[in-house]
Amino acid sequence: MTAEATTTAPRLIDGPDAAPATVLLAHGAGAPMDSPFMAAIASGLAESGWRVIRFEFASMARMRDTGRRQGPDRMPVLQEAFRQQVHLVRRDSPGRPLFIAGKSMGGRVASLLVDELAASDGVRGCLCLGYPFHPPGKPLKLRTEHLAALRTPTLILQGERDSFGRRGEVETYNLSPQVQLRWIPSGDHSFKPTLSSGLSEAENWATAVALTDQFLRQLLNC
């Protein structure tokens, strides 16, 4: 893994220079780009041969600098930050296939942009790790309208007991045929399973990596 500072945000880079594709991975609202979850996904994909670039939204970078907890910036600001990161990746490796991805809020931002960026920058697909279908305890405040109309291949990995969208709820939603929905057994919003499941957090993270690797290889025919 290498660390790098750009004009817009710090980044962490994992995986080989000769990888068949790059995955641009954004963090969620509550934890930074180097959280255990983000590190496990990035290192797992890197070990599978993919190049993974993690970046930090400005609000999280400010919180890191000040030590004071704060909410994320508004969605237009987050979207513009993601666009800038895509443009940086395209500048540095113009010929390599690119996928955009994110944990929770980061995945929501990616999914809102993927059709636009597929047209403008050739982004090949989107990955959402624990999509926030609705705020916890507010199942009627859905964030799904754009998911019904997506035209670009998108993989959503969701814990079966995620409070932002449990399996029984999500399976009733109207999602685009381009959306693949795969379930992390007994997982919560960060894929942590119950003790009674007999699974470990590391095993569920490895499952998420394996499903992502399968999705990428299917789209690239490799």
Rounded Cα distance, 197 and 133, in Å: 24
| Residue-wise pLDDT tens digits, 149-196 | 999 999 999 999 999 999 999 999 999 999 999 999 999 999 999 999
Helix pair 75-92, 105-121: axis angle to 10 deg: 50
Question: What does the pLDDT look like over 84-142, one tens digit per residue?
Answer: 999 999 998 888 999 999 999 999 999 999 999 999 999 999 999 999 999 999 999 99
Q: Which CATH architecture has domain 2-220?
A: 3-Layer(aba) Sandwich (3.40)
pTM recorded for the entire structure:
0.93
The stretches of the chain forming alpha helices (DSSP H) are 36-47, 58-66, 75-92, 105-121, 167-170, 201-220
Of 202, 142, 155, the residue nearest 183 (C-alpha): 155
Confidence of residue 6 (pLDDT cuts 50, 70, 90): very low
Band (pLDDT 50/70/90 cuts) for residue 71 is confident
